[in-house]
Amino acid sequence: MTVSQAHFRRRLLLRRAAGIAFAALCVAATAAAIAALGVLLVQVAAKGIDRVGWDFLNAFPSRKPEEAGIKAALWGTIWLMGLTAAFAVPLGLGAAIYLEEYAPRNWLTRVIQVNIANLAGVPSIVYGLLGLALFVRALELERSVLAGSLTMALLVLPIVIIASQEALRAVPNSIREAGWALGATRSQVVFRQVVPAALPGIMTGIILALSRAIGETAPLIMIGALLFVPFTPSGPMDRFTVLPIQIFNWASRPQKEFQVDAAAGIIVLLAVLLAMNSVAIVLRNRFQAGGRR
């Protein structure tokens, strides 16, 4: 009896130690990720924060680092992201609703499902080639912000679809059944019960998708996004440039002063990203609070 108790106690101590060690490992993993991000942010902020100001935000590109500004790239990014969201969100959400709520479970939907998952992993340059052939050349949209955002919408569509599907799938079936039992039609159940319940998850998917799109350069260079643009887009057919292209170019210029511009550009890009995400988070919290209970 005492032998097995002593044995148990020893095991217990070991198990507790293992538990603490595991928790410590998890903390270390989190700390490492945050530290890397922190170092990056501090470095960029220290280098570029003095450069960020009205002049920087309101000037067009220049060969003189101290006169160069980010106006064209900033507005290009805002246009591109707005249009990308306008295309990708309704299409992605619609496809997800169809696949989850309407489509029969057969081999065809399974094939579609596998293909969507694969598309999410296709390198972005491939979407650039598709955009160049389809939007720029076949549809003759030229090197417009419209062609760019359509390409970007294709790029992020799989992410939106998959995230929305996951969110819809997480809604308990009992909610649908309760709706049907009360005589609601399928579309009534989808729009009044399932989608509102899934909205927080859907919003998270949209944030992830747009966060990916805002940092992309390769597909945009492929479709002919520019670098020196001395005007802001005034319509979807205007030529454009975006923040990551401008930042990359500044970072690779020989003159050191351009490195400061690059750091300032990164700060602006982060600010746009944060602003975009906080809009989505505010929307999500509103739906979460108001939608159900």
Partner 1 sequence: MKFLRRMRSAISESRLVLLLVVAVAAMAVFVACGDDDSTSATKTPGGAPTQTPGPQLSGSINGDGSSTVFPISEAVAEEFRKVQPGVDVVVGIAGTGGGFKKICNGETDFNDASRPVKDAETQACAAKNIELVEFQVAFDGLSVLVNPANDFAECLTVAELKSIWQPGSTIKNWKDVRAGFPDMPLTLYGPDTDSGTFDYFTEVINGEAKASRPDYTASADDNTLVQGIAGDDNALGYFGFAYYEENQDKLKLLGVDAGSGCVQPSRETILDESYAPLSRPLFVYVRGDALERPEVKAFMRFYLENGKQLVGEVGYVEAPDSVYQQELAKLK
Under the rule (CB under 8 A), what is the footprint of partner 1?
60-63, 83, 86-87, 89-90, 136-137, 140-144, 146, 191-192, 195-196, 199, 221-222, 224-231, 235-239, 245, 249, 251-256, 259, 286-287, 290-293
For the four alpha carbons of 203, 242, 216 and 115, in that order, the dihedral sign comes to: positive
Give yes or no for a contact between 267 and 48, defined as CB atoms under 8 angstroms apart: yes
Residue 25 vs 129, nearer CB to partner 1: 129
Residues paired with residue 239 on neighbouring β-strands, in sequence order: 144
Which residue's CB is nearer to partner 1, number 8 or number 231?
A: 231
Smallest gap, in angstroms, from Cβ of residue 92 to partner 1? 11
- Minimum distance from residue 183 beta carbon to partner 1 (Å): 17
Q: What is the DSSP letter of 54?
A: H
- Please check whether residue 76 is in contact with residue 213, taking contact to mean a CB–CB distance below 8 angstroms: no
Beta bridge partners of 144: 239
Nearer to partner 1, 165 or 241 (CB): 241
Shortest Å distance, C-beta 229 to partner 1: 5
Tokens of 75: 């507005």
Least distance (Å) between residue 277 CB and partner 1: 17
- We find the least distance from the C-beta atom of residue 173 to partner 1, in angstroms, to be 20
Closer by beta carbon to partner 1, 121 or else 183: 183
Q: CB nearer to partner 1: give 136 or 168.
A: 136
Exposure string for 104-122, b = 16+ CB within 10 A, e = fewer: eeeeeeeeebeebeebbee
- In the numeric block, which tokens belong to residue 27? 């903390």
Calpha distance 26→38 (Å, rounded): 18
User: What does the alpha-carbon distance between residue 203 and residue 215 come to, in Å, rounded to a whole number?
Assistant: 19
Please report how close the Cβ of residue 282 comes to partner 1 at its closest, in angstroms.
13
Residue 205 burial (C-beta neighbours within 10 Å; 0-12, 13-18, 19+): buried
List of residues 6+ apart from 201 with CB closer than 8 A: 163, 164, 166, 167, 168, 170
Q: What is the closest distance, in whole angstroms, from the C-beta atom of residue 9 to partner 1 in the complex?
A: 53
Output 104 or 254, the one with its CB closest to partner 1: 254
Instruction: Pick the closer one to partner 1 by CB: 22 or 102.
Output: 102
